[in-house]
Structure formats: C-alpha cells, structure tokens
Amino acid sequence: MNFEDELSAPVWDDLAHANREPLDEIAKEFRPATAEKTANKDGEGVTWESGHTEEDEMAETKNDTPVVRNTNEDLLASLAPAEDSLASLTLNSGQEQPGKRDPLFGENDKSPLKIENESVVTGVSSSSSNQKRQLKPQRLFTTARSRRHPLTEEQKKGLFMDPLATDAKKDEGEEFVDESLDYEPIAHGNGESILQQVDAPLFRLSPRKLPAIPPKNGSSDKVSEFISEEETPLNQFRIEVLDPVKVGDITSAHVEYSIRTHAQHLDPADFQVKRRYRDFRWLYRQLQNNHWGKIIPPPPEKQAVGRFKDDFIENRRAQMEKMLTRISQDPTLQKDPDLIMFLKSPDFGQDSKIRENQTRSNASGDSNDISEIHISEITLLGEEDAIDVLKTGGLDESHKSFMNLSFSSLPKYNEPDSFFIEQRQSAELLEEQLRQLYKSLELVDVQKSELASVTDEFVQSIKTLEELEVSKKASDVLSSFAIVHQRIKESLQRSSLQEALTLGTTIDEYTRSLGSIRAVFNQRAKVGYFLMIVESDLVKKQSQLEKANRNIKSAPERAEQVAKDITKLQKRYSKIKEKWQEIGETIRQELERHDQEKMRDFRNNMEIYLEAAIETQKECIELWETFYENNL
C-alpha cells in the first residue's frame, strides 16, 4: 500500500485539487440522483462504479495537499468569509455545473437531474434554515478549503451553501478535511449489492435536506411527505410463520418454524423455508448492520427456561411473525438482500455465514440485549481501509496500543447534539415505564388466573353444599349461584386473555422496539467514538509531521511516511464523520416515524382494551341480573 501511495501521490497531486475536490462535494449533493440512475440503468451503473474506484485513488492522493496546507489555514481562514460572500452573490446558472462535472462523471450525470435536486434543496433549506445552522461546520470547511481553488468552483458551492456562508468564520479552525472522501465509503458499501445501492440514496438524500427536524413541532407533515416519497416502490409481502416443530436430540433441541412468504414482485412469488429462533436474531443483527440508524423491528427476547412450552412457542411464533411483517412493510428494509435471503435461502446456515463474513456484521455473535450493537468496519470504512484496520486489530484496538504507550487517555465520546441526548433519555424513561406497566399487567394477569382457579374451587364447594339437598329452594339457588360463578370465571379468563393479546403484546413489542431504538443511539455513539479516536490519531500524526518538518535532520522518507498516514487518517476520518452524520439524520426520521406509529398502535389497543372491559362488565351485570330475577 505504502509503496503504491508513494508512487501515486506526486502524480496526482498537481492535477487533483483543481477539479477533484469540488467534484466530490457535488457528488455528495447529487448522490441521490446518480444513485437513482444506477438503479435505473444497469449499464450506466457499472461505468459509474468503475469511475468510482478511480476517483477513490485520486481522492486519496489529493488529500495530501490540504494536510500540508493545514498549517496555513489560520491565515486563509481570515480570507474565507469575504470570498464566500462574493460567491453567494454570484449564483450560478445551470450551465456551469455540467461543465465541471464532465471530466469526472462522464456521461453519467446530466444537468436536468441536478437541477431537480437543487430545487429541492433550496426549498427545504429556506423552510428550515434555522436548523441548518447546527450543521455549520461541514459547510464552513468546504468554504475554507475552496478558497484555494478557482472562483468558478466556489460559485458552485455558493449555490448550495448560501444560507451558511455568512457564518463561515466561526467554525473554520476545527476541522480541515471534510467532504473530499464522502463518496468513497458509499461506493464501497454499495458495491456489496445493487439492492442496497437502491436503498441507500433514499436515506442519504434526506440528511441534507431535512437537517435537525424539530421533534415537537408539527413535523408529522414532513415525515409523511417523506414517507410518501418512499412509498412508491413498496412491495407487498405476505409472510406467515407456521408450524413450530421441536427438532434435534436432547443436546441440540430447538424449535423450527416454517416461514411461508408470498411476494408478487419476486420470482417465484411463493416460497417456504424453515428457520429457528436464532436465525431471526441473526436477521435482526444483520439488518441492524446494514441500515445504521434504522429502527429494526426486534425479535422476541431470549429465554432459557421453558422454551418448549406450548404457549410460549405460540407467543414467540406470533411475535416473530409480527417482526417479519413489520420488516417487510418498511420500504427500505423490505429490499434488503439479507431479508430476501432469509426468506428464500434453502441453505441458510451457509449463506448467513457468507453474508456475515462479507459485511463483518458479527450478526451471530449476538448478545442478549437487543440494544447492544456491533459496528462493522467494512460498512464504516469501506472494504480496503477496513481490511487495513482489521489487520491492526480494529479501530480502537490500534488506538489503544498506540496510546497506552504514550500517556494520553482514551478520548471519550460526548454527544454534541442535545436532541439525541434528550431522545435517548426519554426513550430510556419510557422503556422503564413500559416495563413497569408490563410487569403490573402481568401481575394482574397472574392474579386473575389465580382468581379464576379459586373461583373454581369456590364453585366446587358450593356444589357439594348443594348436593346435600337440604331443601329444594336452597339447592336451586345454590346450583344457579354456582353456575353464575362458573360463567363469570370463564368471562374473567376470556378477558384476561384478551388483555394479554391486546395491551400485553403491544407493550411488549413497544418495549422491545425501544431496545432497538437504544441500539440506534448506541450505533451513533460508537461511530462517534471511532470518530474521536481517529481525530486524536490524526492530531498526533500532524504534530509528528510538524516535528519532522521542523527537524531538518530527520529523513525526508519519514516525513513522507507520516504525511501518508495523515492522508489515510483524514480519509478515514471524513468517512466516519459522514457516517456519523448520516446515522444522526436517519435516527431523527426514524424516531419521528416510530413514535407516531407506536403511539397510535398503543392508543388503539387501549381502546380495544377498554371496549373489551366494558363488554365484560355488561356480561357480568347481565349474569347477576338474570340470576337475581330467576332465583331470588
């Protein structure tokens, strides 16, 4: 690697920055458009990808320059605002942009697509300009960097960034490389499957457009808009989980469920496979890995004891069916290749291992707690870099070994956005409350069944008294009395079953999906943590470089080496940062939607619960009234 880098670095260095950097930024903005394209036209998609890999290399090399200049940034920064304001004044016409893009993308990109995007961007940004400020750092950087490039590029930037341009000064110093690498991780991630590519842009589009959706205002409109945008390709799945069968000998006993799927858009439309509980958990982990920030409908909890009891199995079957149904109703998740594989693969054991290995999802290393997560380096950094990282033992591993020798403490991730902190807290609180509620409901259920059984005994003793036939009248009364109690007991059992089915399962599912929400927050925190690590590494390296530069005696190769490392780290850093932000955006939307959906469901079940209670009550009154009329 190093050798290659060394060779390529000087060559590209001269050429690169003029054209490439702006291009990356544009690419970021227009990724959705390009992605859609690839989805539409296979041929184009291929060429586009190949273009990518090239670009990848270019970007790596190009990164060297900004690092070197980093020391001069303070000076440059003072100049930045002036230029930016100019840029914002001179808004571009559509003509310039294609000109810039041509060399990089070739025919793939066409102006009309881009214009479409622009209009969307401007529309949204004007509506939520306040929120956009939270994302300032990103934009400010680009402006800072762009100073060095010819004005035309800056004009282009101005087109996208104008609301922020005035604030440019403030945040400049913090970060230096931002967008240059944005494109690459996506390219790698998408390289895994075309279906994923189709999905990804849909989500990545939104972070740009809907930054920091305010949680309390009538954001439901926006969300519904957003959903409707996506809903067009929604495919209908009909999934049934059936026939739980206990298989295996005493050591490996487990329950297998048949999953029967009917989906019109797939070929063949009907298929049936056998899966066990563990596989459902695998699917959950895999989807979690494939879609960071998405709230994946969770599988039922693990249970060690009483796994083979009939009602438990039935309960679990229902929960898993619900999970699959919900997954298949999600426009993004339903296209996930792993889901399709899960539903179709006849040799799941093998396929799942392959997929897991490809994505490094660690899906089978599944912990009990659904909120615990694993961040796959491949998804995070792209394949090449990830392999590199994994060789040294993972992101934080390398860091640890490094830093433990030197005396700096491990960086700690602090969530900068209060939105996430609040949401996380309220989710935890709610989970606590729901658990409490579930526990009380369970207690009520237990008490009710106890009550039913004691009522049974009560009825029996009444019957024995009746059988004495002390007097005709008394016996008659007693026998109807016993019957009334019997029927009330039945109604009690029915109502408690009803409660368990409505409120109970809803709360249970809700609680578990809150676990899933926590997982999403964990993902953000973990990625944020990696971000911190890489950042601190980067700072270290830069100081090393400075030292090397100052010290003339040191070998130039050494400085070069350090510079290369810095480039790599920068690239990594920007990739992670991009991911981190993406996750944040996805979480915002997901939370919004999840809240709406779940709460509606919850209230609906409250109503059903209430109606059932009322009906039971009426039945009860009727029984007593009839008894009174007939016997007393």
Partner 1 sequence: MTSAIPYDPFDDIDNNPFSEPAVESAPGTHDADEARDNEAENQPQLQKGDEERSVTAPGEDQDTTLQEQLENLVPERKNTKFTLVVKVTGLERVGSLANKKDNPAIIFDASTNLPTFRKPKHRNLKKTMSEFQNLFKYLNAALPETFVPSLPAPSTNYGIQNNEDYQKTQSAMQEWFDRICGDPLVLRCEELAFFIESDFNTYTPIGKVKSTVTGLRRKTLKQLAPPFDECLELAQFRPLVKSIHYNCHEIQLKLYRLSKLRKMLSQDENGVGQTFTEMLTDSSQIHTKLYKRFGKTLTAVGDIDSVVATLDMATLYDGLAWIVQDTYVVKEALTNRHFLMRELLQAQQNTKFRQDQARRLRVKRDVNPLKVDEAIRALKTATTAEHELTLKLQRTTANMLFEKQRWLEWYSHALTAAIREYTLRKIEYERKKLTLLERIKSDVRSADLKGGLSRLGRGASTSSTTGPSQTPQGDSWTGNSRYRHFQPGVLQTEFDNSLQEEQDSTHPTDPEEQRALDARNAAALLGTSTF
Q: Which residues bind partner 1 (CB under 8 A)?
A: 215-216, 423, 426, 429-430, 433-434, 436-437, 440-441, 443-444, 447-448, 450-451, 454-455, 457-458, 461-462, 464-465, 468, 470-471, 473-474, 477-478, 481, 591, 595, 599-600, 602-608, 610-611, 613-614, 617-618, 620-622, 624-625, 627-629, 632
Nearer to partner 1, 229 or 611 (CB): 611
Burial 550-573 (b: 16+ CB within 10 A, else e): eeeeeeeeebbbbbbbbbbbbbbb
Query: Cα angle at 317 between 314 and 323, to 5 degrees?
Result: 145
Nearer to partner 1, 78 or 464 (CB): 464
Identity of the amino acid at 240:
E
Nearer to partner 1, 29 or 585 (CB): 585
3-state secondary structure of 24: helix
Cα 86 to Cα 25, 61, 164, distances in angstroms? 19, 30, 13
* Token duo for residue 463: 């019957």
* Token duo for residue 26: 């544009």
Nearer to partner 1, 116 or 622 (CB): 622
Nearer to partner 1, 51 or 215 (CB): 215
Nearer to partner 1, 216 or 391 (CB): 216
Evaluate whether 369 touches 515 at the Cβ level (below 8 Å): yes
How many Cα atoms occupy the beta-carbon half-sphere of 232 within 13 Å? Answer: 6
Query: What's the min distance (Å) between Cβ of 494 and partner 1?
Result: 16
Nearer to partner 1, 413 or 602 (CB): 602
Nearer to partner 1, 356 or 509 (CB): 509
Query: What's the min distance (Å) between Cβ of 446 and partner 1?
Result: 8
Cβ burial, residue 492 (10 Å; 0-12/13-18/19+): middle
Evaluate whether 613 touches 495 at the Cβ level (below 8 Å): yes
Query: What's the min distance (Å) between Cβ of 626 and partner 1?
Result: 9
Nearer to partner 1, 412 or 472 (CB): 472
Identity of the amino acid at 268:
P
Query: What's the min distance (Å) between Cβ of 441 and partner 1?
Result: 6
Query: What's the min distance (Å) between Cβ of 218 and partner 1?
Result: 9
Task: Kindly list the strands in the beta sheet with 270-276, ordered across the sheet, starting from the edge strand earlier in the chain.
Answer: 237-247, 254-263, 270-276
Nearer to partner 1, 480 or 561 (CB): 480
Nearer to partner 1, 170 or 603 (CB): 603
Evaluate whether 415 touches 532 at the Cβ level (below 8 Å): no
Cα 629 to Cα 54, 178, 623, distances in angstroms? 90, 83, 10
User: Cα 412 from chain centroid?
Assistant: 22
3-state secondary structure of 270: strand
Query: What's the min distance (Å) between Cβ of 584 and partner 1?
Result: 17
Residue closest to 419 by CA, chosen among 168, 211, 172: 211
Helix axis angle for 42-62 and 2-40, nearest 10°, is 150
Evaluate whether 410 touches 537 at the Cβ level (below 8 Å): no
* Token duo for residue 14: 């001269």
* Token duo for residue 603: 């209230």
Residue closest to 589 by CA, chosen among 290, 198, 291: 291
Nearer to partner 1, 539 or 606 (CB): 606
User: Prior bond to 150 cis, omega within 30?
Assistant: no
* Token duo for residue 620: 């009860």
Distance between CA 209 and CA 206 in Å, rounded?
5
